[in-house]
Amino acid sequence: MAMTGVLRPGHMQLRVLDLEEGINHYKNVLGLVETGRDAQGRVYFKAWDERDHNSLILRQADSAGMDFFAFKVADKATLEKLDADLKAYGVATERIPAGELLETGERVRFMIPSGHAIELYAEKTDVGNGMQYVNPDPWTPDAERGIAPVRLDHALLYGPDIEKVQKLFVDVLGFYLVERVLMEDGKTDLAIWLSCSHKAHDIALVRHPEPGKLHHVSFLLESWEKVLRAADIMSMNKVSIDIGPTRHGVTRGTTIYAFDPSGNRFETFCGGYQPYPDYAPITWTWEEVGTGVFYHDRKLNERFLTVVS
């Protein structure tokens, strides 16, 4: 197997101010599949084409934002190795027992310098995507509720010390830098896009004074036409759209940013090129940061830099 170590983003726990509003948004507008509820009142979802039991967990709270973002690793031996590697690197880790999240194995949780809780886990129950594993159909009519993304794709997090986050993700977790945006000094990174896979990014960070903030959680669509359709569905449901449909210069992805009813930004995203770990990182200069983020407008809007949850 060529792909080892950290495989992909696996789940995010998100805080919402009103659980019923949140459920309606993520189930009926975004079109995720509800897969369970637990004794704490948390509600579990997966995208229709994901096979594991859950990728988004909603928790009602007094403030919006992200509780934690998790990556699935190849197997239990990898989980043990990465836990030991993190400790050797000087990162304190915590074990969350199997079953604390429904249908999810033991998790290793740690804080990164930007103030976010990150988890690793090896096991989550395969509940399938509604198609057979022998002679499957290519899709299921049940998938076409709402925007219907195929998977949780990545997250963009805001916080301080992103160069330390980059070093940790690269040196310990095996990620590589795909793209970066420089600050006015021409040296310091304003933003970084990191991949553990063949995707343009699995996690991205923007330098920001306040730790632990969520800029957006992103869901993958399969075509530009589906991004346009997502905008139609958002408008039908009076979803607050931040920007789009448009294209990012960074990653080349096509995109819409919008807000859930609690003010958490989410993205419906398509495309992006497919890098390999040997690719030289792409750099965007301060003068072209607007083009890098919003390729058509060629300037940032104020919300992109300031509104986080």
Q: Is 248 a catalytic residue?
A: yes
Q: Is 215 a catalytic residue?
A: no
Annotated active-site residue in 11, 25, 116, 154: 154
d(CA 4, CA 53): 21
Interface with Fe ion by CB under 5 A: which range of 53-61, 131-139, 214-222, 258-266? 214-222
**The pair of three-digit structure tokens given for residue 193, joined into one six-digit string:** 């896009």
Q: Which CB atom, from 212 or from 271, has the smaller least distance to Fe ion?
A: 271
d(CA 191, CA 54): 29
Binding mask 128-167 for Fe ion (x = CB under 5 A): ----------------------------------------
- Shortest approach of Fe ion to residue 151 CB, angstroms? 13
Q: Is 201 a catalytic residue?
A: yes
Q: How many Cβ atoms from other residues are within 10 Å of residue 113's Cβ?
A: 18
Binding mask 259-288 for Fe ion (x = CB under 5 A): --------x---------------------
**Cβ burial, residue 264 (10 Å; 0-12/13-18/19+):** buried
Annotated active-site residue in 25, 53, 208, 248: 248
Task: Give the chain as a 3 state SS string.
Answer: CCCCCEEEEEEEEEEECCHHHHHHHHHHHCCCEEEEECCCCCEEEECCCCCECCCEEEEECCCCEEEEEEEEECCHHHHHHHHHHHHHHCCCEEEECCCCCCCECCEEEEECCCCCEEEEECCECECCCCCCCCCCCCCCHHHHCCCCCCEEEEEEEEECCHHHHHHHHHHCCCCEEEEEEECCCCCCEEEEEEECCCCCCCEEEEECCCCCEEEEEEEECCCHHHHHHHHHHHHHCCCEEEEEEEECCHHHEEEEEEECCCCCEEEEEEECCCCCCCCCCEEECHHHHHHHHCCCCCCCCHHHHHCCC
Q: Which CB atom, from 31 or from 253, has the smaller least distance to Fe ion?
A: 253
**The pair of three-digit structure tokens given for residue 87, joined into one six-digit string:** 């400790």
- Shortest approach of Fe ion to residue 203 CB, angstroms? 10
Nearest-CB residue for Fe ion: 218
Number of residues binding to Fe ion, judged by CB under 5 A: 2
- Shortest approach of Fe ion to residue 216 CB, angstroms? 6
Annotated active-site residue in 53, 116, 201, 215: 201
Q: Which of 54, 78, 129, 218 binds Fe ion (CB under 5 A)?
A: 218
Q: Which CB atom, from 121 or from 304, has the smaller least distance to Fe ion?
A: 304
Q: Is 296 a catalytic residue?
A: no
Q: Which CB atom, from 23 or from 157, has the smaller least distance to Fe ion?
A: 157
Q: Which CB atom, from 26 or from 257, has the smaller least distance to Fe ion?
A: 257
Q: Is 154 a catalytic residue?
A: yes
- Shortest approach of Fe ion to residue 292 CB, angstroms? 13
Interface with Fe ion by CB under 5 A: which range of 28-36, 218-226, 256-264, 284-292? 218-226
Q: Please tell me whether residue 291 binds Fe ion under the rule CB under 5 A.
A: no
Interface with Fe ion by CB under 5 A: which range of 34-42, 136-144, 210-218, 282-290? 210-218
**The pair of three-digit structure tokens given for residue 214, joined into one six-digit string:** 């969520």
**The pair of three-digit structure tokens given for residue 192, joined into one six-digit string:** 């970084």
Q: Which CB atom, from 197 or from 218, has the smaller least distance to Fe ion?
A: 218
Q: Is 176 a catalytic residue?
A: no
Residues in touch with Fe ion (CB under 5 A): 218, 267
